[in-house]
Structure 1
Amino acid sequence: MTHAIVHTWRLLKWARTLARHGALQGLERDPNAPARLRRLVRLARVGARVPASPRYADAFEAIGPAAVKFGQTLATRPDIVGEEAALDLYRLQDALPPLPFETIRPQIETSLGRPIESLFAHFEVEPVGAASIAQVHRAVTTDGRTVAVKVLRPGVEEEFARAIDTYEWAAAQIEAQDRAAGGGEIGRLQPRLVIATFKRWTARELDLRREAASASELAETMAAEPAFHVPAIDWPRTSGKVLTLEWIDGIKLSNRAALVAAGYDLPLLAKTLVHAFLRQAIAEGFFHADLHQGNLFALPVNRIAAIDFGIMGRIDRRARVWLAEILYGLITGNYRRVAEIHFEAGYVPAHHDVAEFATALRAVGEPMRGLPVKEMSIGMMLDSLFSITRDFDMVTQPHLLLLQKTMVMVEGVATALDPDINLWDTAQPFVEDWIRTELGPEAAVADRIVADVKTLYRLPDLVRRIEARFPAPGGAPPAPPLREIEIVRIGGGWRYAAVALATAVASVAATWLVIG
């Protein structure tokens, strides 16, 4: 078990790096940040030559791969970090310095168990993209197919393990301090559970066989959307550290000028992306959760191809039903029903008033309903919803964080393609049809029969359990078990004061990045 001093030293180094690059200025100036935290952040930059303009991407690169992943997440949330920070962080998506081929080659040959020459007729030593976890090379197989070869950076698993170990420790210290102070905002945001969720997501990204399996599964579920293409996996050339898949020869959706010059129908591409995401998230419950512009390509005949399947989201059918009803209720202005769903799903504690929550939702939805179509935004709606969560003690739902993030990301990409698109109008027909299909009279009767039979079967066991141990239909799944972590007690000697200071500055800042 890593000693508390080691964790504290890591956190102090990370906080100092962030401060040195000016990356904590936003937190320091945020009037909503606790005054004590702002003072500690100022202390972290004492003696540092802080640049006039924050260099966020440089700071995250300097900290390491796990921090880069946080930076990639923040790049999709300009509503939180601001447009300037999001733009700077965006270059973390696929523009990191690559490792030399001499370092990558042994990784490929050891992982696949064969020399490169026996697998590929041609292998380009210069990568086409490099990110925090892996880099991608173009190659031609011995049977003549052009493929993309994604190779895990050597040693990245160990780096992530060390970083996440410290994230877990820091989150535990923060929650303990929050409980000692009587509980508050930190407890509502559940930093330990957020870190545990991030750890599971990362485990999938660090095993390229799981990424390959995710791509294969997504291709099957998206058969009903022929305009959305998922590249085929080359399984014989794929392992835990190497992923080989079909090469996508298209134009990145980030290159709007090239798309226009090539004659693509940009509004159609935007609608295709929105419908593909809705089918994945609502109809199938399995969605690509990293749909930024660098991972999306335009193909001939206005089709879209996606790459990079390391981050995927999964939602069970009950939760999808509730989410579809919430989305449809906001689209149609049925705030009372949306409020009831939040209570039934356990998102809002029962001691609050349904009618009051419905009024708060109305305050979010109605101003948007009066705006021109091109000014209405899912991102704006989510930002407003987040602002009322504190008043109603809504606990952070880690299983929905990916969905929320991806919804904002998809809207951003779609809006860049077609500034006049509105996700609400585009989504409504799809959501209506899905609700009608899934929740129509026949489906409702069938679901009730199945549910009743299952309830009778479980009756002896249900009698022995208390209701509070089960989430309401559509609610959050049970939290994963969290490992025991030693809590540093403050109250004796300068060493404990030093630990408290370092943890308060660095770990709170790191956890704030995760939650954001």
Structure 2
Amino acid sequence: MAVTSSTTHVLRLLRWGRTLARYGALQGVEKDPLTPPFARRLVRLARFGLPQPAEPDYAAALQQLGPAAIKLGQALATRPDLVGEKAAHNLFALQDSLPPAPFPLIRKAVEQALEAPLETLFSSFDEVPVGAASIAQVHRAVTTEGREVAVKVLRPGIEDMFAEALETYEWAAAHLEAHAGDEAKRLRPKTVIAHFRQWTRRELDLQREAASASELKENMVAEDGFYVPEIDWRRTARRVLTLEWLDGIKLSKRDDLIAAGHNPRDLAGILVRAFLRQAVIDGFFHADLHQGNLFALPDGRLAAIDFGIMGRIDRRARLWLAEILYGLITGNYARVAEIHFEAQYVPAHHNSEEFATALRAVGEPIRGLPVKDISVGRMLEGLFSITRDFDMPVQPHLLLLQKTMVMEEGVATFLDPDINMWEQAEPFLKEWIRSELGPEAYAADRIVHVTRALRKIPDLIDRLDHYFPAPGGAPPGIPEVKVEVNKLPRVRIRDLVVAILAAAASAAAVLLLR
């Protein structure tokens, strides 16, 4: 594979820059004192001769640049610390839609992916898509068995388009991080683009999206009000995804929901509980919960679609997350600060009490208020101000979670302007923290730890026999080693005795608990 030259990257950036400049989207970059000189020169060259609008429109500019730029814009909407609060707000309005690809190309793509003629798989297949996004488009169809399904098909040539754009994004991020000083290193542009590549790689593999939907469906069994459609695995491949068709009302149509007999407050409650269960309990969550991907079904359940962007958080990070949220809910800012220092989110040279005070300045004005009275933008501005003041590196694994939290809050507020997210979350988080950090959880963790240790004992004995065999029992080719026990270091004998006693006691405890 040929390596793209720096000249090609610069030309691409200039071409994209002309489009961005036309919408005023480069004004902030040029004015920012932290922008490195080489980047500022490129910006000036890109906007040369173009009139500048009074207010930049980032969303419209990226829409013009195509699928990769649209997805990048959606990722940057989660980073007001990187692009600024106004830009992030504008990017949240980015529409993930493009004109549909011609049906003959879609037909060919389906037949190649599923290795069969369209007629042998579907008794009917609508040529006009019900939706056309930047990466794929969706068609309604009926299988030969008579099931109504939605068929999602990747746009022809989309992989090559993303590969080209990502190359240049990575090149630009590397140069920015190398020449923009400590602030750029803290914001980790290279890591942001690396995660963006990971997100898009997942979205471009529809079989993996099907697997994500299947996993989420299994996890959400306990949440009766939240539904994930069934996957048709026979008609699913890397470039085609077939799943159950859902007849429902999009959450964006609030008046229609009420007319159909749905209670928006109940739907908002289901959404909040489902999100908390996914993010906090399972650590695997739908990371694109906007109104277009959520439907109210006739029976009152809430259904989700489009599982291309999923987030995953390990148990340790979930524990920190739960304690942080619960600490903000209860006003225990000292504990929240401790968690940040324990997680090494804040460099050790800072003061924990000062950090707790900074958190209080953000948390107290919003605690107990209904969402309609809380400015999410103001809250995020305060939180990101803290990250700058306390030299906190951006945590890439939490970027999707942050984006989803803001998005989910917006949908819940649209359904029920009086919903109090903190009140909704408090009992859920309190119970989960008790189950995860309480004595039962501690005992269970210790049993698992001891069991793993006990399993290592047979191998330890085999190793001791190998290297310290009984007289006359040395393996062939290995000289007999004579060891006088009383000449072994005392610490080893003591540790060995303690380990044996501990293992025996643990084994007895496990047997007694059975």
The two structures have a TM-score, normalised by structure 2, of 0.82
User: Which residue number in structure 1 is paired with residue 484 of structure 2?
Assistant: none
Q: Is the 1:376–1:422 Cα contact (8 Å) retained in structure 2?
A: no
Distance 1:164 1:20 in 2: 22
1:313 aligned onto 2:316: no
CA contact (8 A) 1:252 1:295 kept: yes
Partner secondary structure for residue 184 of structure 1: helix
CA distance in 2, matches of 1:401, 1:25: 25
CA deviation after TM superposition for structure 1 residue 51, in Å = 4.8
Within a 5 Å distance, the mapping from 1:200-349 to structure 2 comes to 200-349=198-347
Task: Identify which of structures 1 and 2 has the higher relative contact order when contacts are C-alpha pairs closer than 8 Å and 6+ apart.
Answer: 1
Deviation at 1:316, TM superposition (A): 1.0
Structure-to-structure mapping, 1:177-188, within 5 angstroms: 177-178=179-180, 183-188=181-186
Contact kept, 8 Å, 2:229 with 2:303, in 1: the verdict is: yes
Q: Which amino acid aligns with 2:135?
A: I
CA distance in 2, matches of 1:262, 1:295: 19
**Is the Cα–Cα contact under 8 Å of residues 283 and 312 in structure 2 kept in the other structure?**
yes
* Corresponding residue of 1:148: 150
What RMSD, in angstroms, separates the aligned Cα atoms of the two structures? 2.6
Matched with 1:393 is 391
Partner Cα distance (1:17, 1:167) in 2: 16
| Aligned length in residues | 453
Aligned 8 A contact 1:342 1:348 in 2: yes
For the Cα contact (< 8 Å) 1:76–1:409, is it kept in 2?
A: no
The letter of the residue matching 1:416 is F
Counterparts of 1:27 and 1:370 in 2: how far apart (Å)? 38
Deviations 1:324-348 (A, max 9, x none): 0111001101111100100100101
Q: CA deviation at 1:210?
A: 0.1
Distance 1:58 1:402 in 2: 23
**Post-superposition shift, 1:245?**
0.3
Q: Secondary structure at the match of 1:443?
A: helix
1:242-285, Cα deviation, whole Å (9 max, x unpaired)? 00000111111111121122121001101110100000000111
Question: Which secondary structure state, in structure 1, belongs to the residue aligned with residue 393 of structure 2?
Answer: coil
Tell me what 2:93 maps to: 90
CA contact (8 A) 1:343 1:349 kept: yes
Give 1:422's aligned residue. 420
Give, in angstroms, the shift of residue 382 of structure 1: 3.3
Secondary structure (helix, strand or coil) at the match of 1:211 reads: helix
Shift of 1:117: 0.9
Shift of 1:445: 2.6
The corresponding residue for 2:24 is: 22
Matches within 5 A, 1:122-133: 122-133=124-135
Distance 2:87 2:126 in 1: 35
Listed as ranges, the gaps of 5+ residues in structure 2 are 461-514
Cα distance change of structure 1 residues 323 and 188 upon mapping to structure 2, 3 Å threshold: same
Residue 491 of structure 2 aligns with which residue?
Answer: none
Q: Secondary structure at the match of 2:24?
A: coil
Aligned to 2:101: 99
User: Does structure 2 conserve the Cα–Cα contact (< 8 Å) formed by 1:77 and 1:408?
Assistant: no
Q: Distance in 1 between matches of 2:264 and 2:378?
A: 23
CA contact (8 A) 1:74 1:86 kept: no
Match of 1:5 among 2, 7, 10: 7
Q: Give the Cα–Cα distance (whole angstroms) in 1 for the partners of residues 98 and 371 of structure 2.
A: 37
Q: Sequence identity, in percent?
A: 67
In the alignment, the residues of structure 2 paired with residue 21 and residue 158 of structure 1 have an alpha-carbon distance, to the nearest angstrom, of 26
* CA contact 2:149–2:244 (8 Å) conserved in 1: yes
1:488 paired residue number = none
Give the whole-Å Cα distance in 2 for the aligned partners of 1:322 and 1:74. Answer: 24
- 1:23 CA drift (Å): 2.5
